[in-house]
Amino acid sequence: MPVPLPDPGTTAAGFPAAATVRRRGNGGFVLACLLPALVLFAVFMVVPTVNVFRMSFYTWSGFSPDMRWVGLDNFTRLLDDAQFVRAFQNTIALLVVVTVVTMGMGLFLAAIMTRQRLRGRALYRFVLYIPSVLSVVVIAAIFSAVFDQENGLLNGTLRLLSLDALRQVWLGDQGLVLWSVAIAMIWQSLGYYMVLYMAGMSAIPEELYEASALDGASPGRQFFAITLPLIWQNLRTTLTFFVMSAVNLSFVLVRAMTGGGPDGASEVLLSYMYKQAYTNSSYGYGMAIGVVIFAFSFLVSLLVSRATRREPIQF
């Protein structure tokens, strides 16, 4: 008579195996650890996001109990709103300029810090990284003082160098104010991404550079043929992250430095949404702008991810 084999999930006495008990216990423990985070995420992220979409179909002042369903009227109104179009254009301009300059300078400085033997390299890295740990409001205050028309550092330096013809009302000129905000955004972000790229470049084996140098490759050729392909995944991740964070960063700097002026020249999507929802008592219209920002950020991140997709190179 054949002897029945024991169940692999039980012991010979018929009790559950230790691995099975441990697996079940770990599942409950993991769920208990994740539950607070999931609740917080749902309360502070999922519910507010759903509420933004819901309120975009209403007209409401934000304070009165009167709410009226208007359907897609808030979205059709956006198409005829010249200030919204200008804020959209300013947001795209800042994203393009700040992203290209920050990523380009970050890669350049990281390559110099990693590949060149500089004296005081740790000091340079520390100085460039300082803006990343400062509050954005502090940075806005610094650059507001730098660009001040009468007592600002920039105009004061130009006056000292007898270049009074170059002095400008940096934050009061419609053609210069957006560039001034862009400079503040670049200064705040540059050191952080430089350090990230330095970490990726430091992991590249030195033998690859030595072999390419023997073949006569110049430093520029080494950067584009070795460094850039091997840190591409790092670059791709930081690029997507930066595009998302730049939308929020532009709002804080514009709000603290210019308030969207002069005459809406520095207005961005988030600052315009804030004005409509909390200043002009057009909460529903502001939430419609918020839906556009959500869709725009998601679309830009998707395009960046698709455009930078490539097979990873391992070494």
Q: How far is CA 60 from CA 54, 70, 111, in A?
A: 12, 10, 53
Q: Is residue 295 part of a domain?
A: yes
| CB-based burial, 219-237: b 16+ in 10 Å, e otherwise | eeebbeebbeebbbebbbe
Reduced to 3 states, what is the DSSP secondary structure of residue 213?
Answer: helix
112 in the same domain as 28: no
Query: Which token pair is 292?
Result: 């556009």
Residue 277 has pLDDT above 90, yes or no: no
50 in the same domain as 135: no
Give me the percent of the chain exceeding a pLDDT of 90. 38
Parent domain of 249: 79-205+212-307
Q: Is residue 12 part of a domain?
A: no
Q: Distance between CA 179 and CA 148 in Å, rounded? A: 14
Q: What is the pLDDT of residues 121-180, one digit of tens each?
A: 888 888 889 998 898 989 999 999 999 988 889 999 999 898 888 889 999 888 899 999
* Predicted pLDDT at 241: 86
198 in the same domain as 153: yes
133 in the same domain as 51: no
* Predicted pLDDT at 62: 72
Query: Which token pair is 175?
Result: 């053609």
Model confidence at 182, pLDDT cuts 50, 70, 90, reads: very high
Q: Average pLDDT in the 66-77 region? A: 88
Q: Distance between CA 79 and CA 98 in Å, rounded? A: 26
Are the beta carbons of 172 and 144 closer than 8 angstroms? no
User: Contacts for 241-245 with beta carbons within 8 Å, 24 or more apart?
Assistant: 242/99, 242/102, 242/103, 242/189, 242/193, 243/95, 243/99, 243/297, 243/300, 243/301, 243/304, 244/297, 244/301, 245/189
Domains held by the chain: number: 2
Residue 105 has pLDDT above 90, yes or no: yes
130 in the same domain as 22: no
The secondary structure of residue 163, as a DSSP letter, is: -
Query: Which token pair is 70?
Result: 């208007």
| CB-based burial, 134-148: b 16+ in 10 Å, e otherwise | eebeebbebbbebbb
Preceding amide of 262 cis, omega within 30:
yes
Q: Distance between CA 210 and CA 216 in Å, rounded? A: 10
**Selected residue with higher pLDDT from 81 and 19:** 81
Residue 225 has pLDDT above 60, yes or no: yes
Q: What is the pLDDT of residues 10-61, one digit of tens each?
A: 555 554 555 454 555 577 888 888 899 999 999 998 998 899 899 899 988 7
156 in the same domain as 192: yes
Model confidence at 5, pLDDT cuts 50, 70, 90, reads: low
248 in the same domain as 139: yes
285 in the same domain as 198: yes
Compute the mean pLDDT over every residue in the chain, rounded to the nearest whole number: 86
132 in the same domain as 49: no
* Predicted pLDDT at 150: 84
Q: What is the pLDDT of residues 230-258, one digit of tens each?
A: 889 888 888 888 888 888 899 999 999 99
Are the beta carbons of 197 and 231 closer than 8 angstroms? yes
pTM metric for this prediction: 0.83
Q: How far is CA 71 from CA 53, 58, 75, 85, in A?
A: 11, 7, 9, 21
Give me the percent of the chain exceeding a pLDDT of 70. 90
* Of 87, 53, 89, 69, residue with least CA distance to 276: 87
* Predicted pLDDT at 91: 94
